[in-house]
Amino acid sequence: MQIPVKKNQKIVLTVEDLTYEGMGVAKVNNYPLFIAGALPGEKINAVVVKTRKNFGYARALEYINKSADRVDDSLDQQNGITPLGHLKYEAQLNFKRNQIKQLLNKAHLEALNVNNTLGMENPLHYRNKAQVPVRKINGKLEVGFYRKGSHHFMPLKHFLIQDKRIDEVLQSVLEILNQYQLSAYDEETGKGLIRHLMVRRGYYSHEVMVVIITNGKSFPHGDKIAKEIMKKCPDVKSVIQNVNNRKTNVILGKQDIVLAGNDTIMDELNGLKFKISAHSFYQVNPQQTEKLYQQAIHKAGLTGEETVIDAYCGIGTISLNLAKHAKKVYGVEIVPEAIQDAKQNAKINNLTNVTFEVGNAEEWMEKWSEKGIKPDVIMVDPPRKGLTNSLIHSACEMKPKKIVYVSCNPATLVRDIQLFMEEGYQVTQPIQPVDQFPQTPHVESVTVLENKN
């Protein structure tokens, strides 16, 4: 196929659709061009910025006509942070539902129903955690982000989707760090001290944790800086230095040094208390997580008599929610630190009907089977890559009445539904999307599969 456009060519385009990443798609002789920030139905003057064999990228220069779903472009300026910020919130919720619908149609599962996406009342300032790079700009340490697909660092004071208090704490921490003339990490040379700042804040407790990620163990004035942070921000209950001296884009290193306060903060979900450490995986949108878990529990149809397995239990957030509604819950997770947290969280909440194990879910399902444990419900909440074939097989071997699948990636969800169907399980209720990440293309959902044999 000959590419019908050239780099730097100016062209008038009509946008037909949105990709899963939320980019506009226009076609020239069936050759797709992706345009960030453009919406279906819009006619634009554009310039081609990159061409590949099967698709290319263009940039909008001028909108000849705008979509009725377009919002004032103020959110769109932070393209890396709010890729859907230019789309009306109602339309974002439809886009997320349609993502799941289109993937089901492609897999010839168009008979499956998808409910409307459960959204937020205020779809901004929802994130309870910030992890931001620190760089030196005009002699001062600043936080910001890298513009999508580039190494262009943009300093930023207001992150729009983060808890406003987190933005304020970040600026206070920078102010204190800047008094000590500390260097910022340089990716090219691997030199410089301050790499990232991480701030977590309890949505209900309002407790704040500050983690300063340093390139090496030496942190001049670290203790003094920590005390000043706690003095300036009385809601900060924990200041931690995290040491990461590897040349990597992984943010946290393995070693934590508590500089002031506690090593954890507390928060709540659906009335349960959770201890959160610097490394804990804890959902970043607590308001929507409550809705997501309520949906999962409701769809599992628990009456208080059931045995439930939670196959990716993390620090126990879903398991402990389930334990309030089930007879017995077994949680398994591959990360040993997460299981330590989960056991502690069970104690804090006086829940004695839950058992946590470290390891591989498939192996534990086999062990539980041998012990004669028969689950009524298996709950899975896997990472983006979805479930392994062996986990699907192991889960179905246990013959639970229901499998409740909490998904953060519609593509792997649809693939896995097909594998469950081959094992005799059917989707019996409409799939329920939940908007955990407003202003971004991500969508979570809850699907129930029941044993039809």
Cα(313)–Cα(318) distance, rounded to whole angstroms? 7
Q: Which residues pair with 25 in a beta bridge?
A: 17, 34
Distances in Å between the Cα of 64 and the Cα atoms of 13, 15, 25, 42, 194 are 10, 11, 16, 7, 45
Residue 387: CB atoms within 10 A of its CB come to 25
- Let me know if 408 is a catalytic residue: yes
User: Which of 233, 313, 396, 408 is flagged as catalytic?
Assistant: 408
Alpha carbon distance 331, 226 (integer Å): 36
- Inter-axis angle of helices 361-370 and 389-397, nearest 10: 20
Distance CA 156, CA 177 (A): 17
Question: 425 vs 101, 416, 417, CA distance in Å?
Answer: 20, 11, 8
Quick one: which of 288, 168, 316, 283 has its CA closest to 232? 168
Residues 380 and 405: their CA atoms lie apart, in Å, by 5
Query: Distance (Å, rounded) from C-alpha 292 to C-alpha 284?
Result: 13
Which residues are annotated as catalytic? 408
